[in-house]
Structure 1
Amino acid sequence: MSRRGFSTRQVHQGVAVSVPASATGSAPTARVTPIYLTAGFEFDEYAAAGAHFGAGEGYAYTRIGNPTIDAVEHTLAALEGGSQALLLASGQAATTVALLALVEAGGHIVSSTHIYEGTRGLLRDNIARLGIDTTFVDAIDDVDAWEAAIRPETRALFAESISNATNRLLDIPAIAEVARRHGIPLVIDNTFATPYLLRPIELGADVVVHSASKFLAGHGSVLGGAIVDSGRFDAERSGALYPHLVAPGRGPGGVPGPSIAERTGGDARIAYARESVAPRFGPTPSPLNAFLIGQGIETLSLRVERQSANALAVAQWLAARPEVASVDYAGLPAHRDHALAVRDLAAGFGSVFTFTLRGDADTAQRFVEALEVFTHMTHLGDVRSLVLHPATTSHAFLTDAERRALGVEPGTLRVSIGIEDVADLLGDLSAALDVAVDAPVAVVA
């Protein structure tokens, strides 16, 4: 299956593991992944319970494993070119579990500044309370800046493949080489790009995370997140940095057993996330949500291809409008990372970007309120086109200087382009620009 095309794999990859033999008996195999909406599973015989808790065989409790969830994980790992995947309840859960599987108190993370504001808050506030420090790199295209930020206690590098909100791209092979020299993993949030446009593991990254609520699901119905690991953990090279992966395990009766690395080899990172972090912190996805994410994945390439084509047309149109001060879209030649986009995003440049109106926050408000086809909401990756004003929503708690450093001005708007007819999108934007610019100015008596 791995040699077949992306669209073929997104439809067929998960079916083989969708139905466990013990649950079907002589019944025919379901063509679509069944929804195992259950908290737990019966053991066929007394010894099966011990086998599950001892060697992890079969299914017992959905927080630990569920066949519907397993099917989606199998598909995601194949599409990202990874060894294994772990599905979680949200994208924030995926990022949190991925990092906590790597870093402990006293550890350090190096992160791009150009990331989702919720992730910046996670690193700056929540993970910091656990005794884990983070250094943010502003000049993400400066390889030396990444190198200089690494300390002896650094345990992960983190960045987004296509950033929120100014569409900055990371030179993944270059930064992956920095991480490799230090024996630490590069973790990439690939939500904006999706595995259809970019597969970071193939470019040298070690761990990929997703907000599966976005493009993977595609329909805006459910929350979900995912971690995909490359399976390239090198215990001999990096074991001293990650003692929790190479320390002897605890077997039945408390007798020392093999380490996670000895049991799972190159999959030690995601095995630890699956066995120790995710089930204990508990961000378990619903099997129903997993099913809906899996259904979305089956049309991922079709949607992202259309969304990317629409986005390029919209970005080009906006860039030519006198009412628009700037368009931050990597698919435009004027974008600072356009050369990287051409090199790494052969199938399309993505569909989420920002543009800045000439005017102020009031101009942006009039524009948003005049839109009819675009939906005003906090989300992205939907089949519908969406719009949001970052300065008063996602970036509201930053200072003006912090917002400007991230490319967020009072007139900046973020759009996520959907699959609508592009002529309708352009017509909607044109009408809104007319309203935003021509609106009367209040006269103070």
Structure 2
Amino acid sequence: MATDRYQFDTQRLRAGYEPKEHNYAVSPPIYQTAAYDFRDVENAAGLFGLREPGFLYTRVGNPTVAVLEERVRTLDKAAGIIALASGMAAISYTLLNLAEGGGRILTSPYLYGGSTDSFKKIYPKFGIKFDYAKNIEDPERLAEEIKPDTKAIFIESISNPNTVLLDIEAIAKVAHEHGIPLVVDNTVATPYLYNPLAHGADIVVYSATKGLNGHGNAIAGLVLEGGNFNYQTEKFPQFSEKYYTLRDIDNKLRSFPEVFPDAPFTNRIRFNYLNYFGAALSPFDAYLALVGLETISERLSRQSRNALTLAEYLLKHPQVEWVRYPALKNSPHYGLYKRDFPKGAGGILSFGFKGTKEQREAFLNSIELFHYHVNIGDARSLIVNSPQTTHGELEAEEKKIADIPENLIRISAGLEDAADLIADLEQAFEKAVS
């Protein structure tokens, strides 16, 4: 079914799936199989030679996973996509693919704590170093921080937990002037609220565990590419390498851009990193993500409204020192929110608890309706003390750079009635300070 001509709310239900190709099943089937029979020897040769589309082993491709990939690719208007077993797999495969052999990544300081900690612990052992941009909110000066061996800029579209918004169009311009791609983690925004590729980004990563799925029941990740960046330059020699596994019918060795001119980045991840590192998304988890994706518009709209309602309530509360949410008129990011996020600012907000450590902990222990755990984007409302949990890996100086004070509490607004959520916060505040 050619769905490119349809609007977002039709595509989220129909893109990437044609019932008549699956015994007319209305819902995409779960292809719970490890491998697939070949029609004949010629079919096997065509599949292994990448000359014929199809499936040969679920580690590198599966029909259920392929429906999820095509649906999200359509929503993001991307040239290529690959689904993986987690959002962290999406980030790691992306950065390894870019900086293979060594190099630097210029990154925003406003990131998920797991990303920041992995940048410190894991990648330097592979020759990849990270520079935290001092001018990420001032793109005109950002160019000063790009070094000769910088391979990419990495940012979040809505940061976790501070909900920082950045001028992605301006940052993309700087990146492209220096021959490097812009990578955007769009997990919090999802393609419903924001499309980084349409604003100049080259690569988008998702933890599909969060808002894309929206039900807290599956772990998944995605990498997408815009198809406009040229990887065949001296800065990225790995993309010009020719492989025996990519040979043509005459046994001529070829590179990924030669075989996949529209999507060399994600296909290189699929046939190198996914194939041999193996973070494959299971068919069942892909199915769960597809089911969750069907309600993404309603969920993100309601979560954005609830988050704003909670932010406005907290802004007036005597036990709250500050509130961070882009849709608040006093937010330093309100201008970018009005320009780039017409459908809402998402379900994440944070606030500073005014009181002692013991009172803050009593507040969290008194919560009854909110779930106290570390996920985000769930249909249920969640609350957590990020500095001690999701960003607990960060050392004091790293928290200072990321602007994460110890009294920060993060909320992921769900779909409950906002009045009930406010009542739950109110009773917890009362118990904490009594």
Q: Same fold by TM-score, threshold 0.5 exceeded?
A: yes
CA distance in 2, matches of 1:405, 1:344: 25
**Structure 1 residue 292 corresponds to structure 2 residue 288:** yes
**% of aligned pairs identical?**
36
For 1:170-249, what aligned pairs fall within 5 Å after superposition? 170-234=166-230, 238-249=232-243
User: Cα distance, 1:145 vs. partner?
Assistant: 4.1
Instruction: Name which of 35, 43, 46 aligns with 1:48.
Output: 43
CA distance in 2, matches of 1:374, 1:108: 40
CA distance in 2, matches of 1:227, 1:187: 10
| Secondary structure of residue in 2 paired with 1:157 | strand
More deviation, 421-430/274-283: 274-283
Letter in 1 for 2:300: V
| Secondary structure of residue in 2 paired with 1:228 | strand
More deviation, 177-186/242-251: 242-251
CA distance in 1, matches of 2:150, 2:371: 41
User: Cα distance, 1:239 vs. partner?
Assistant: 2.3
User: Cα distance, 1:364 vs. partner?
Assistant: 1.5
More deviation, 36-45/65-74: 36-45
TM-score normalized with structure 2 length: 0.95
Aligned residues of 2:213 and 2:293 also touching (Cα < 8 A): yes
Letter in 2 for 1:187: V
Instruction: Name which of 240, 255, 261 aligns with 1:259.
Output: 255
CA distance in 2, matches of 1:266, 1:124: 33
| Secondary structure of residue in 2 paired with 1:273 | helix
Aligned residues of 1:248 and 1:256 also touching (Cα < 8 A): no
Residues 33 and 46 of structure 1: CA distance in aligned 2, closer, same or farther (over 3 Å): same
User: Cα distance, 1:437 vs. partner?
Assistant: 1.5
Aligned residues of 1:360 and 1:410 also touching (Cα < 8 A): no
Residue 410 (structure 2) aligns with: 414
The one-character-per-residue Cα deviations of 1:43-88 (angstroms, maximum 9, x if unpaired) are: 1223221111112532110011111000000011111121121100
More deviation, 396-405/425-434: 396-405
For 1:25-424, what aligned pairs fall within 5 Å after superposition? 28-55=23-50, 57=52, 58-234=54-230, 238-250=232-244, 251=247, 255-424=251-420
Aligned pair count? 429
| Secondary structure of residue in 2 paired with 1:265 | coil
Aligned residues of 2:114 and 2:393 also touching (Cα < 8 A): no
Residue 443 (structure 1) aligns with: none
Letter in 2 for 1:198: Y
The one-character-per-residue Cα deviations of 1:220-269 (angstroms, maximum 9, x if unpaired) are: 0010000111011325xx52222222233322799442321122213111
More deviation, 274-283/306-315: 274-283
- Structure 2 unaligned spans of 5+: none
CA distance in 1, matches of 2:205, 2:393: 25
User: Cα distance, 1:373 vs. partner?
Assistant: 0.8
CA distance in 2, matches of 1:56, 1:125: 40
Aligned residues of 2:156 and 2:184 also touching (Cα < 8 A): yes
TM-score normalized with structure 1 length: 0.93
CA distance in 2, matches of 1:169, 1:304: 17
CA distance in 1, matches of 2:263, 2:169: 21
CA distance in 2, matches of 1:210, 1:345: 18
User: Cα distance, 1:294 vs. partner?
Assistant: 0.8
Instruction: Name which of 8, 13, 16 aligns with 1:14.
Output: 16
Aligned residues of 1:165 and 1:407 also touching (Cα < 8 A): no
- Structure 1 unaligned spans of 5+: 439-445
User: Cα distance, 1:271 vs. partner?
Assistant: 1.6
Aligned residues of 2:248 and 2:254 also touching (Cα < 8 A): no
Letter in 2 for 1:205: A
The one-character-per-residue Cα deviations of 1:382-427 (angstroms, maximum 9, x if unpaired) are: 0000011122212223333432443323321111000001110011
CA distance in 1, matches of 2:69, 2:266: 12
User: Cα distance, 1:361 vs. partner?
Assistant: 2.1
| Secondary structure of residue in 1 paired with 2:380 | coil
Letter in 2 for 1:37: Q
Residue 431 (structure 2) aligns with: 435
Aligned residues of 1:165 and 1:354 also touching (Cα < 8 A): yes
User: Cα distance, 1:355 vs. partner?
Assistant: 0.4
Aligned residues of 2:113 and 2:392 also touching (Cα < 8 A): no
